Amino acid sequence: MRTLIVEDEPLAAERLIVLLQQLRPNAKVVAVIDSISETITWLQENAAPDLILMDIQLSDGASFEIFRKIKTQSPIIFTTAFDTYALDAFKLLSIDYLLKPVSKAAFKQALDKLDWLSGKQTSTTRTYKSRFLARIGNRSFFIEATEIAYFSADNKIVYLNAHDGTRYLVDHTLENLEQMLDPRQFFRLNRSIIVQASAIQHIKPYINSRLKLNVKAGSNLDELIVSRERVSAFREWAES
């Protein structure tokens, strides 16, 4: 279970890590972040975690501000020293609302609730988008997901780059595409690229602890970079 901790009190963050290790030994803390701005950046640049443990009062404001700027499908367990935010919390994908100091019993109950809800959700087979409507100029085309090499974003414009080298426009953000695409086949490399596994020809190290992918799109091999923050998740995805 990939877990993101958003907490600006080091001792509180450490307690959550210890409790998580005790109650879910297989859980992996992917990052510990202490501000709204850093959380937004992390969620934009990384695959959605399986769980977010989030304090409500952070170093630069109330964490609800995060979800006014971006959307996430990750379940959240809120932690706080105050009991006045419960209604706002449950408007989001909140599993539980725990008051500090978080007790082991309360934390276990929240994790058990997450397990139960996850079991209900996975009992039905999830389907992913298999076809996209893409366009060149004023002409639109149906493009099967299997024909896609990668998606790329240039400011607010998103392109679908096909295996045959054709580049189309699509009316989706990369954030929306992450939710639509099969995560076994597609991976977000950085802020501006989502690649399909079948298009990757080879991988090699790159400067500043990054990776460079050679991706087949038409007669060319396009060079795409895995950001340093995404390298670990990319290796995990590649071997899954």
Chain segment 167-203, per-residue pLDDT in tens: 999 999 999 998 899 998 999 999 999 999 999 999 9
In this structure, are 113 and 166 located in the same domain? no
Query: What are the pLDDT digits (tens) for 68-104?
Result: 888 888 889 988 876 555 445 445 557 788 888 899 9
Query: What are the pLDDT digits (tens) for 135-161?
Result: 999 999 999 999 999 999 998 899 999
Q: Identify any residues that bridge with 96 across adjacent strands, giving them in sequence order.
A: 77
In this structure, are 68 and 163 located in the same domain? no
Rounded distance between C-alpha atoms, residue 191 and residue 69, angstroms: 16
Q: What is the pLDDT of residue 87?
A: 47
Q: What is the pLDDT of residue 179?
A: 86
Question: Cα separations (Å) of 170 from 103, 139, 187, 216, 229?
Answer: 47, 12, 18, 20, 27
Cα 145–chain centre separation:
20
Q: What is the pLDDT of residue 89?
A: 47
Query: What are the pLDDT digits (tens) for 199-214?
Result: 999 999 999 999 999 9
Q: Please report whether residue 127 resides in a domain.
A: no
Across residues 34-57, what is the average pLDDT? 91
In this structure, are 96 and 200 located in the same domain? no
Least Cα distance to 200 among 132, 148, 158, 130 occurs for 148
Q: Please report whether residue 189 resides in a domain.
A: yes
In this structure, are 51 and 144 located in the same domain? no
Rounded distance between C-alpha atoms, residue 196 and residue 36, angstroms: 31
Query: What are the pLDDT digits (tens) for 20-39?
Result: 999 998 899 999 999 999 99
Q: How many other β-carbons are positioned within 10 Å of the β-carbon of residue 156? A: 6
In this structure, are 147 and 113 located in the same domain? no
Q: What is the pLDDT of residue 131?
A: 94
Containing structural domain, residue 146 = 132-238
Domain end among 79, 103, 122: 122
CATH for 203: 2.40.50.1020
Domain end among 122, 154, 170: 122
Q: Identify any residues that bridge with 131 across adjacent strands, giving them in sequence order.
A: 144
Is the per-residue pLDDT at 2 higher than 80? Answer: yes
Rounded distance between C-alpha atoms, residue 106 and residue 3, angstroms: 18
Token pair for residue 14?
């450490």
In this structure, are 16 and 48 located in the same domain? yes
In this structure, are 114 and 6 located in the same domain? yes
Q: Please report whether residue 155 resides in a domain.
A: yes
Q: Please report whether residue 109 resides in a domain.
A: yes
In this structure, are 115 and 136 located in the same domain? no
Query: What are the pLDDT digits (tens) for 120-129?
Result: 555 455 688 9
Quote the number of domains for the chain: 2
Domain end among 122, 144, 160: 122
Q: Helix (H, G, I), strand (E, B), or coil: what is residue 225?
A: strand
In this structure, are 136 and 199 located in the same domain? yes
Q: What is the pLDDT of residue 83?
A: 59
Query: What are the pLDDT digits (tens) for 214-230?
Result: 999 988 889 999 999 89
Q: Please report whether residue 188 resides in a domain.
A: yes
DSSP 49-86: PSEEEEESEETTEEGGGHHHH----S-EEEEES-SS-H
CATH for 103: 3.40.50.2300
Question: Cα separations (Å) of 120 from 69, 129, 137, 181?
Answer: 29, 22, 44, 21
State the helix-helix crossing angle for 104-122 and 10-23, rounded to 10 degrees: 60
Token pair for residue 27?
């859980």
Q: What is the pLDDT of residue 92?
A: 54
In this structure, are 117 and 137 located in the same domain? no
